[in-house]
Chain A
Amino acid sequence: MTRLLVVFLGGMLFAIGLGVSGMTDANKVIGFLNLAGDWDPSLAFVMVGAIGVHLTLFRLILKRESPLFAERFEIPTRRDINPKLVGGAGLFGIGWGLGGFCPGPGLASLPAFGSSAAVFVGCMVFGMAIHKIAHPSVKNSRHQEA
């Protein structure tokens, strides 16, 4: 139970970070991705802040033998660059530019009860289901790959 509560708190902190940073404001996201309009580059600094912190802590954490509430670290090990990776990420980017939502902000926006976030998340789950049906061979569901 403790371990689930601890992970739950991590999810909460993640959402609060998204909100504070501006990532849950779809108009701000679109203003960042639309280079033609009145360009707002500030969201680039979300990456600066996130990577700055995680890059530092990641190294310190991995000095431990194991995580606090699990047997081992499950860090993605794949190194292959293939058309699925590039094409899948490319399709994701098109969707991100069309709607202004990526997965985290879409989910974190749900409690505001707006129709856009609900439609986005519903259709995102549908898109994931299409992938599962189209690529049934993907069995490695235990491990994170991203």
Chain B
Amino acid sequence: MLTSILWATVGGGLIGLAASWLLLTKGQVAGISGILGRLLDTWNDQSAWRLSFLLGLLLGGGVLVATLPESIAAPADRSLMLVGIAGVLVGYGTRLGNGCTSGHGVCGLSRFSVRSLVATISFMTTGFLTATLLGIFGGAG
């Protein structure tokens, strides 16, 4: 548990560093759902950096596969059907609410945005509720 907490903090620090890097270099907020959603919306003068950031995210995932393969794991007790429904809800919900764990959670809270705080409380609450109810009633398949 202590090791797990240590890695979570260090990894979180790297995420914070990456968000700071994007702000320092491009002046942009590192919200993954916003970057992806806007890239899909329209092709404009902002699209190149968005695509570049997302390609970096994918290559970073490749580095993980090569160096820390056990760090990427699929949900063991969730059917593909459930994961698909989850994807639709995450895609629609993050666009409707203008952000996800990174945009609202990391970047928004770091600048004391009340809007992001409200969003974070909302998605943490429903996230805990959903996973806990699935855990109790076990209908996860």
Which residues of A approach B to under 8 Å, CB–CB? Answer: 3-28, 30, 33-37, 40, 42-55, 57-58, 61-62, 64, 66-76, 78-81, 84-104, 106-112, 114-117, 119-132, 135, 138, 141-142, 144-146
Given contacts A12-B60, A22-B11, contact A120 B42 (CB under 8 A): no
A99 touches B119 (CB 8 A): no
Main secondary structure of the interface of A (DSSP, over half): helix
Q: Which residues of A contact B91 (CB under 8 A)?
A: 95, 123-131
Query: How many positions in chain B have a CB within 8 Å of any CB in the partner chain?
Result: 119
Residues of A within 8 A of B99 (CB): 89, 145-146
- Report B1-60 residues with CB < 8 Å from chain A CB: 1, 4-5, 7-38, 40-42, 44, 46, 48-49, 52-60
Q: Does B84 contact A (CB under 8 A)?
A: yes
A96 touches B127 (CB 8 A): yes
Question: Which of chain A's residues have a CB closer than 8 A to the CB of B77?
Answer: 30
Picked from A23, A42, A52, A95, the residue with its CB within 8 Å of the CB of B16 is A52
Given the known interface contacts A22-B4, A93-B126, the answer about A74 and B27 at a Cβ–Cβ threshold of 8 Å is yes
